[in-house]
Chain A
Amino acid sequence: MGGSVKVYVPCDAAALSVGADETAAAIAAAAKKRNIKIDIVRNGSRGMLWLEPLVEVATPDGRIAYGPVRADDVETLFDAGFLSGGDHTLAHGKTEDIAYFANQQRLTFMRCGVIDPLDLSDYEAHGGLAGLRKALTMAPEEIVDAVTASGLRGRGGAGFPAGVKWKTALAAPGAEKYICCNADEGDSGTFADRMLMEGDPFSLLEGMVIAGLAVGAETGFIYIRSEYPHAIRTMRRAVELFSSAGWLSDDITGGGKRFDIHIRVGAGAYICGEESSMLESLEGKRGQVKVKPPIPAISGLFGKPTIVNNVLTLATTPIILAKGAEYYSNFGDGKSRGTQPFQLAGDIARGGLVETAFGVTLRELVETFGGGTRSGIPVRAVQAGGPLGAYIPASGFDVAMTYEAMAADGAMLGHGGVVVFNDSVDMARQARFAMEFCEIESCGKCTPCRIGAVRGKEVIDRIIANESRDQNFEILSDLCGLMTDASLCAMGGLTPMPVQSAIKHFPEDFGG
């Protein structure tokens, strides 16, 4: 190799959406013109999305960051000697010293943005495969125990302890079991699953093989939403590479264990993120929610014991095995152990991914990391935890980001999305949208949700139009109660959360 400088330009979809390909092409062309040999690596994103395209140059002192670098900026970067870390108005010093990054605790995302996502030796050089190697020496019960002891809870939204689920599936009788990775990531304001799949796909595959070893499953599926073509492509390629290296095979590294992974693509239905709906969809059916019990760990895909876990849950298990349960559980707060990749979105100056131990406050996320709004208009509200999560007023930002503290405040952490709205937001319109979204995405199985959402939207319209306000507020309140209590799943069951939190904290927006 020697001689050629390594230049990193992300291939993450968010970076591409603001011109990373054009930037990479401009860098290649400028280097050629100047007869300089460089080696462009298309890495994942570091998660500092406001700086994308974030170009990094490997220097003897470490990687130096420049961003956002548009194709037009490239000539001036060369003029400034950026290949040896030269100063420039777009320079940010060492990537890992940027406060936003330095103040995180990156465990699940430790390699994302660092390595070439599809280079298995790079993966291994940065700690990859250590967890799986360890798991191959352990009994299934020991793997399950380690995951339980780590305190890892499901990152898909419900926060169910992963070890408990794995234990149930391990105990479930049957030779055929499945590991299904939920990569449907439909929540607005979330993109961590996508970033991980694009930036460190092997960690997910490694986690799935570990899950397979833990419960005795030999087949895995990754259900990726169709809105993520880049992630789909990367994961497909990663499966091929992982497979040809012997990590997915009939005889993993000669140890007599087998595992295989298939990629499946969703088709634009939010409800398919709900696990029973996802399993129906994986069977090629309508994604209709099923009544529980039985739970999937006992009877899931094709009626067999099935683990359904979120991308981040699975991708976190390798580090737990590699470094030990205690290492992981030492992070966190109360019953929320470990780290959570938060995603800062909406009107925010420094939007991106912040992985940090549970317990950070919402204010720290929005203000310290996020830097307030991008527009400069004051922050009015945050919607946390996706479209089914609560709206939180600025006065409530001191809440600690843990499952328990959020629940105590009538909110939820969900998949870790934090969407910032400025003062111009109309909360009545947001409440109406929550009902409308439920109407669009309801699977139609139960009446409180299917009909309730339509009625809810109509009632809010009447309130906005100032028709019989008191009476309509009462109707809305009854309706929300009914949806909460009588819906079959959290789609209908949680839609009242954004609606009622908006009314509670921002009554002035509902006319009158």
Chain B
Amino acid sequence: MVTLIDTSQEPLIREICDRHQNKPDELLEILHDIQATDGYISDGALKIVADALNISRAEAHGVVSFYHDFRRTAPPQATIKICRAEACQAVGSEELAHYAEATLNTKFGDAAEGADFGLKAVYCLGNCALGPAMMIDETLYGRVTPERFDAVCEDQRTNRRQ
């Protein structure tokens, strides 16, 4: 993909780093903040962070790539995180996962920028007594049947239109 370095984002990223006193040990917090604002960690952002924290770009990149949370490409409009760990498997999360792929016509992990929905596999959302569980942004859903899944997606679409 194209990796234009958007200089207009620089003040914002610098401000986030400043808020964390440019401390290298706060790198994860900084990356979370950037991702919350931009949706992902762009090459440009990574370069600015490395500079602000006085660490090498390789180091910064190494951290970003280690953690499953951080995205390096622009996100879909919404990411549905479906729990695929054991307790949810025991109540049909794999069937839910396949249903989600089929109805949204997308595979886990490969949603393109701006796509309607992306699917991400996660391993436990701490809702293991009320599985299958899933999460969109910070909203947790339990006992997700295909019907509930459809209803949640429809709600998302409706909210977007408003």
In the assembled complex, the Cα of A194 lies from the Cα of B87 at a distance in Å of 16
The answer to whether A351 and B130 have CB atoms under 8 Å apart is yes
A185–B126 Cα distance when bound, in Å, is: 8
Question: Once the chains bind, are A227 and B135 in contact (CB under 8 Å)?
Answer: yes
State the interface size on chain B (CB cutoff 8 A).
Answer: 41
Which chain B positions have C-beta within 8 A of A18?
Answer: 130, 142-143
A348: chain B residues at CB < 8 Å are: 129
Interface residue count for A (Cβ, 8 Å)?
A: 60
Task: Determine the distance from Cα of A1 to Cα of B141 in the docked complex, in whole angstroms.
Answer: 35
The answer to whether A17 and B141 touch (CB under 8 A), given A267-B69, A284-B63, A286-B63, is yes
Q: What are the residues of chain B within 8 A of A288 when measuring CB–CB?
A: 66
B46 interface residue (CB < 8 Å to A):
no
> Please, which residues of chain A bring their CB within 8 A of the CB of B63?
284-286
**Contact of B27 with A345 in the complex, beta carbons under 8 Å:** no
Closest chain B residue to A186, Cβ basis: B124
Residues of chain A lying within 8 A (CB to CB) of residue B130: 14, 17-18, 49-50, 52, 351
Which A-chain residue is minimally distant from B35 (CB atoms)?
A: A267
List chain A residues, Cβ under 8 A from B18. none
Contacts of B51 in A (CB 8 A): none
- Asked if A286 and B66 sit within 8 Å, CB to CB, the answer is yes
Q: Does B111 contact A (CB under 8 A)?
A: no
Is A265 touching B126 in the complex (CB atoms < 8 A)?
A: no
Asked if B86 and A13 make an inter-chain contact with CB atoms under 8 angstroms apart, the answer reads no
Are A269's CB and B67's CB within 8 A? yes
B142 touches A419 (CB 8 A): no
| Cβ proximity bits B120-136 to A, threshold 8 Å, 1 near / 0 not | 00111111111101010
Q: What A residues does B139 contact at CB under 8 A?
A: 16
- Count the A-B residue pairs with Cβ separation under 8 angstroms: how many? 150
State how many angstroms separate the Cβ of A101 from the closest Cβ of chain B: 15
Q: Which of B27, B62, B89 contacts A433 (CB 8 A)?
A: B89
User: In the docked arrangement, what's the CA distance between A226 and B124, Å?
Assistant: 11
Cβ of A27 within 8 Å of any chain B Cβ, yes or no, is: no
A425 to chain B: which residues have CB within 8 Å? Answer: 90
For A16, A227, A286, which residue has the most chain B Cβ atoms within 10 angstroms? A227
Q: Find out whether the CB atom of B123 lies under 8 angstroms from the CB atom of A284.
A: no
Known contacts A270-B123, A284-B27, A286-B66: A346-B86 contact under CB 8 Å: yes
| B38 interface residue (CB < 8 Å to A) | no
**Shortest Cβ distance from B6 into chain A, in angstroms?**
23
A449 CA to B2 CA in the complex, in Å? 36
Q: Which residues of A contact B48 (CB under 8 A)?
A: none
Residues 401-422 of chain A, each 1 if its beta carbon lies under 8 Å from chain B, else 0? 0000000000000000101111
Partner of B87, one of A50, A226, A270, A346: A346
A-contact bits for B51-69, CB 8 A (1 contact / 0 none):
0000000000011001111
B138 CB → nearest A CB, Å: 4
Is B91's CB under 8 angstroms from A374's CB?
yes
Identify which of residues 82-101 in chain B touch chain A, using a CB-to-CB cut-off of 8 Å: 85-91
Determine which residue in A194, A265, A266, A284 has the highest number of CB atoms from chain B within 10 A of its CB, and name it: A284
A343, B129: Cβ atoms closer than 8 Å: yes
Would B127 and A346 count as touching, CB distance under 8 A?
no
Minimum C-beta distance from A303 to chain B (A): 12
B21 to chain A, nearest CB (A): 12
By a CB distance below 8 angstroms, the chain B residues around A345 are 87, 90, 128-129, 131
Known: A13-B140, A265-B29. A346 touches B128 (CB 8 A): yes
A419 to B124, CA, bound (A): 12
Q: How far is the CA of A302 from the CA of B67 in the complex (A)?
A: 21
Using a CB–CB cutoff of 8 Å, the interface residues on chain A facing chain B are 13-14, 16-18, 49-50, 52, 185-191, 194, 226-230, 264-270, 281-288, 302, 343-348, 351-352, 374-375, 383, 387, 417, 419-422, 425, 430, 433, 437, 440-441
Contact sample, A vs B, 7 pairs, CB 8 Å cutoff? A50-B129, A188-B128, A227-B122, A230-B140, A264-B28, A265-B32, A268-B122
Nearest first, the 9 closest Cβ-Cβ pairs linking A and B are A351-B129, A17-B142, A346-B90, A188-B85, A284-B27, A267-B67, A345-B128, A268-B68, A268-B69
